[in-house]
Each structure stands twice: as C-alpha cells, then as structure tokens.
Amino acid sequence: MVKVKLEHKRGRLVLHIGDLKLECTIEPRRWRNPLLAVAVLVLLPPLFFHRPDILTLLTTANIYACVAIPVAWQMIGIGRMNFGPQIFIGIGGFAAALLSIHLGLGPLQSLPLVIIIGLISGFILSPLTIVAKGLYYSIITLVLPLVFMQLTYVYSNIFGGEYGLSGVQQLISLGSMKLNFLVTFYLSLLMMLVFMFVVNSIFRSRMGLFAAAINDDEDVANALGLNVNWWKIVCYTITSMMVSLTGWFIAYNVGGFSGETYLPLSFMLKILLIVMIGGRGEIYGTLIGAYFVSFLETGLRAAFGSISHVLFPLILLILLLTLREGLYGLYSKHRYREYYPTVRVRKR
Amino acid sequence: MFELIQIIVIYTFIMGSLYLLISLGFSVVCGVLRIFHLGYGLIFVVAVYATWMLMKEFGLGLVPAIAGMFVIQCVFTLGVIYYPIVRKYSEREEILLTALLLVALLVEEAANYKYPALAGLYIPTTIIPGALKIGATTISHQMLIAAGIAMLVTVLFVIYLLKTRWGMVMRAMSQDINAAQLMGADVGRTYAFAMILSIIPPTLAILVMAPFWSTDPKLGWPLLEIAILVSVLGGLGNIKGTLLASYIVGFVVAVVGNLIDPRLTTLAMLIVVVIVLVFKPEGIGRSESLW
C-alpha cells in the first residue's frame, strides 16, 4: 500500500506519494496576479461575442505571444539575439498548408508532422548557435528568413509566390462564424498558456538554471562543466519547433499561408519589439508586449487611418528608448527579483 | 564557351562594382564605430525620396535637389541616427539594433505615406543613355558608369584612409579604440564624421542605379541584405575584405544568374557567405579592422 500524505509546510504544499515528494508553492504573490490575468483573458472574450474584430485582435495578440515566448527563452538560453525567428513561422506555416492542400490533412493530423518538421529544421539550423559567434549570429539569422522568402517567390509553383497558398482546411467549423471566432480565440489562448506554462516551468527548473548560466557567461558555464553547445542546440531546436507550431496554427486559422506576410523584416521587428518592450526576456513581459503591440497597432489604425503606419513605429521607438526594463519592468519595479536576464547581442 | 566566359567576366565586374558601392558605407560604420548599422537601408530611401520631394514639392532642378538631399542626409544621420541612438546606446546593442531597424521602418512608412509606392517616381539621373555591345553581351552605359563611380569612390576612400591624418585616426580607432583615445583621437567627432562618410557611397549608388533599379519605399531592405552579405564575407568593417568580397559575390551572381537561374542569386550569395563563415568565421579580411 503506497502511503499518500499532503501537508502544508512554509508556504508550500508538499505531496508525499511513497518515496516521491512533490512540492507546490502556494505563496499568493507567485500565483495571484498570473491567475487573475488568466481569469480576465478567459472570462472577458464572451462579452465580445458579437464583435469578431475584437476577437480577431485578441487572437492575433495570442499568436504574437506564441512566437515571442519561445523567442524570449531562446534569447536567454543561447545567450544571443535571434533576428530571424520568423523563418520557423514560415516553415511551420508552409508545412501545414502544403500538407493540407496536397494530402488533405486536417489540423490534428498534420500537427505531429509539423512538430517533427519544426524539430528537424531547428536541429539542422542549430549549429549556427555554435559556429556563428556574437554579432555574426544575429546577422545570419537576420538574412535567413529573407532568403526563404525569396525561395517562396522562386518556387511560386510550390509556395504560391507573393500571394501565398490558399485552400487550407479551416481550424474549426462550428456552423456559426461568431462561434468560430470565439473558439479560435480560446484555442489560441490555450496554445499561448501552454507555451507560457512550459517555458515558465523550464525557467524555474535546472534547465532554466543552465540557460541563465549560458546567458551570463558561456565560458564560465563551460568551465563549471556545463555542456554549453548541447544545451544551446536543445534550446534552439525546441524553441524553433514551438515557433513552427505557431505557423501551423496561423495556416489553419487563416485558411492559407503567405511568406509575404510573415517572413519580412517588418514582422520580425514586431516580434522583437514585443520581447523588448514587453520586458527584455521576461516571460510574462512577452504577453504584456504582445497585447500592447496588437492593441496599439489596431487602435492607431482606427483612430488615425493611414498615418498610423508612421505613428506605430514612432511610438514603439520612444517606448524602446525610454522603458529600460520594458512594460513588465514597470509592474515588477518594486519587487524583489532573484535573477534578471540580460539580453545582449555581442557575446563570444 | 569564350562568349560565356566573357559574359561572366563582364557581369562580375559590373555587379561586383555595384555591390561594392552599396556595401562600402556599411563597412566603414562597422570598421570605425564597431556597430552593425541595421538602419543602413534608410540611406537609400532618404536619397531617393528626399531628391524626389525637393524636385516635386520645391520645383528644384536635379543637381540642386541632389545637393539639398545630401544636406538632408547629413542632418538626418547626425540628428536622428548618430546622436540620439548610436552614441547613446552603442554599449547596449540589443536596443541599438532594434532602434535602428525601427527608424528604417519609420522612414519607409513616412515615404510610403507621402509618396505611395503605386504612384511611382522618377529620378532622371541617366548620364549617358543607350547601351554598349561588348562581344556577345550588351551593357547599358548607366551600368558602366555606376561601375566606374564605384571604382572611383573606393579609390578616394582608400586614399583618404591611407594618406590623410583623419584617415589614420579612423584606422587607429578601428584597430584599438582605447589606444587611439590615449593618443588623443577625438572619438566623438571621428564617429560622427565616419557616419557622414558612410552615406556617400550608398547615396551615389542609388542615384546612378535609379534609372534601372526598382525604386519604392521598401527598396532599402534588399540593399541592406546585399550590404550585410558582402560585409560579412569581407570581414565586418574591413575595406580590403569588402573590396574582394564584392567581386566574389559579383562572380557568384554572374555564374548563377547566367548558368543556373537568375532567381537563385541571393540564395547562392548566402550559401557562399555561410560556407566562408564556417571555415573562416571572421570573414576574408581582418574583422573589425578598417584596412
């Protein structure tokens, strides 16, 4: 008979199952605000059931966050700034679209294949994190998506050129457009929360400690016995797969995929700004950044029309230069922090 | 076979020279300031749209408009790029690079707002119209002039760097900034001057290329891409390396464009750069040393 015992110990719940001991922090400051944020995100959207535009905006914010969360982890985990994470949105998106169009695979059928494609392509490109040092890594990652975009033009018979691919199966079809929008939002929210939970758990685990060590000083981490190259490859491969999954979601949600939309520098810049303005590598900051950037872009467009395209980068530039620790830094200004990651470019 | 070799040699020279002119300014910034100027593409956009604005809105002729555009370029480079961003955030590259990209996007959007891409524009910088037939190939006079200007500008840059006192200061700073400072080099002023110098080659490049190049508000990105590839291949900030890399890239483009598929030229350029980076990570030249 396995002995099971639950006890409250110094702000933690400790579950004993035989010899196994599982701990969970119940300190309110750790979970109260995230739980409130999740509650708002879950409960608020039904109020906008008759406003598909707002639901689409919220879905877009979740999609941005789904890219920004793994990118933030990657920046910490390999200690460098990736200027081209959107290449994996392209890989995931085109893979899903091609699988749907040519093999008739639905979202759930193509999901494992896209995960495998994301892992393989991430693994193939992962040596870049070792070969390309410091600034060169940023340069190469900057150029890769642009080359991929040109390939989509060259092989327009496969990738659909500037117009992209269309005719991908819908993510969901519930008979009502409004219901589709609402459920799509919840699916995007679920994906974003899973990403956040996974990355947050990793940041708090031993693997997160390795990531922090690599981020702080690769040489010291290496000298302390950490297999830096291995952990960088692991981090790059998994995060690439996560970004590919976002591409998969976009393809089925939009019913098509175009490299022209997701591969240019302007889209990458949006993701980079979400990470930077959100909170410079802070995992909760990416969520704040994603919602802020989405609402700002749409709000400006609604209020100012075509000049919003000029105002949008202008406001983001001002925020980038004035908010030292991003929007999340404003929230966590007076809180004790055990570790603050420094996102830097020029590391050896 | 002889004709094919002739075509490849001519296109290597022409394209290599154009790439040299496009990427020379980028190399100067990399070499002297030791930063990666991701806003470099906006120089091309400002060159085209400021000239067009001065001609269209103020009724200036081509030459006064170009002169005015150079003034705008200098003011913009110092007032928007160098002092508020580069100088302030040179130690925090994550902010610096993102801010430079944002400024480039801002300029692009502003140009697109004022002069939408669909409306089009025309900069009449054709110096000699027509084309020259060399063996089996025909090259427009404008392309030959562009190649000639590239050679001339490079020679002037090299003379400046090797034979003048300011050039010596720049070389010293590119080799060891601390030692140069100890020897009395005015770092702030030299940086500002290097930024001004860096706008000359790309501005001249887009002006001579305007008659045969697509000019829209997004024109800066592909040119930035070329500058990045050439500079990385040449060793960031090394003029000698950039010179050699331009013609290597020109050769790759000529061979792939003429023998395989013209649409694969950028991919071929990237593959060459990645191969060189794998075996010689610092590029062809001595990385981050101007000469």
Q: Is the pLDDT of residue A341 over 60?
A: no
User: What pLDDT digit, counting tens, does each position of B23-32 carry?
Assistant: 999 999 988 8
A174 within domain boundaries: yes
Distance of CA B98 to the CA centre of its chain: 20
Residue B204 binned pLDDT confidence (cut-offs 50, 70, 90)? very high
Which residue does chain B place closest to A82, by CA atoms? Answer: B94
ipTM over 0.85: yes
Name residues whose C-beta falls within 8 Å of residue B260's C-beta, 6 or more positions apart in sequence. Answer: B268
Q: What global pTM score does this model have?
A: 0.87
Interchain contact, B263 vs A154, CB within 8 Å:
yes
A36 occurs within a structural domain? no
Q: For residue B253, what are the domain limits?
A: 2-122+136-279
* CB contact residues (below 8 A), chain A span 11-40, against chain B: none
Per-residue pLDDT at A340: 55
Asked whether the predicted pLDDT for residue A83 surpasses 70, the reply is yes
A283-340 residue pLDDT tens: 888 999 999 999 999 999 999 999 999 999 999 999 999 987 788 877 766 555 555 5
Per-residue tokens: A302: 């609604």
**pLDDT of amino acid B215:** 86
Question: Does any CB of chain B come closer than 8 Å to the CB of residue A57?
Answer: no
Please check the confidence at residue A273 and state whether its pLDDT lies above 50.
Answer: yes
**Tokens 């040699």, residue located:** B9
Instruction: Yes or no: say if B236 and B288 are a contact pair by the CB < 8 Å rule.
Output: yes
Residue B291 lies in a domain: no
Amino acid A230: pLDDT: 93
Give bridge partners of residue B140 from the DSSP assignment. Answer: B131
Which of these ranges, A277-281, B42-46, B70-74, has the smallest mean pLDDT?
Answer: A277-281
- Is the CB of A344 inside 8 Å of chain B's CB atoms? yes
**Inter-chain contact A313–B109, Cβ cutoff 8 Å?**
yes
What pLDDT score does B154 carry? 92
Please report the DSSP string for B149-197 in residue order. Answer: HHHHHHHHHHHHHHHSHHHHHHHHHHH-HHHHHHTT--HHHHHHHHHHH
Range of the domain at A267: 44-331
CATH at residue B146: 1.10.3470
In angstroms, the separation between the Cα of residue A307 and the nearest Cα of chain B is: 7
| Chosen from B88, B101, B218, B287 to mutate, greatest number of chain A CBs within 10 A | B101
Q: How confident is the model over B83-142, as pLDDT tens digits? A: 999 999 888 888 898 899 999 999 999 999 999 988 888 888 888 888 888 877 888 898
Average pLDDT, chain B: 89
Pick the residue from chain A with its C-alpha nearest to B110: A310
What pLDDT band is residue B243 in, cutting at 50, 70 and 90? very high
Q: Give domain status of residue B129, yes or no.
A: no
**A198 within a domain of the structure (yes/no):** yes
In chain A, residues with a C-beta closer than 8 Å to the C-beta of B236 are 135-136
From B132's Cα to the closest Cα of chain A, the distance in A is 30
Q: Is B126 on the interface with A (CB under 8 A)?
A: no
Task: Determine whether the interchain pair A265/B221 forms a contact, defined as Cβ–Cβ distance below 8 Å.
Answer: yes
- Distance CA(B187)–CA(B185), nearest Å, equals 6
Share of chain A above pLDDT 90, in %: 46
Of B260, B6, B1, the C-alpha closest to B136 is B6
State residue A143's pLDDT score: 82
Q: Is residue A52 part of a domain?
A: yes
CB interface of B with A, residues 5-64, below 8 Å: 36, 38
Lowest mean pLDDT among B5-14, B70-79, B263-272: B263-272
Interface of A with B in 262-291 (CB under 8 A): 264-266, 269, 272-273, 276, 280
What's residue A348's pLDDT? 45
pLDDT value at position A336? Answer: 53
* CB contact at 8 A, A126 and A281: no
CATH of the domain at A215: 1.10.3470
CB-CB neighbors (< 8 A) of B221 in chain A = 146, 264-265
Cβ-based neighbours of A31, under 8 Å, separated by 6 or more: A25
In a domain, A60, yes or no: yes
Question: Cβ contact (<8 Å) for B277 and A132?
Answer: yes
Number of domains observed in the structure of chain A: 1
Residue A344 counted as domain residue: no
Percentage of residues in chain A having pLDDT higher than 70: 93
Q: What is the pLDDT of residues A245-262, one digit of tens each?
A: 999 999 999 999 999 899
What are residue B134's DSSP bridge partners?
A: B137
Q: Which of A65-74, B61-70, B214-223 has the lowest mean pLDDT?
A: B214-223
Which pLDDT score is estimated for A278? Answer: 86
For an interface test with B, which of A74, A82, A143 has the most B Cβ atoms less than 10 Å from its Cβ?
Answer: A143
B127 domain-assigned: no
Which pLDDT belongs to residue B129? Answer: 86
Give the number of domains in chain B: 1
Residue A72 in domain: yes
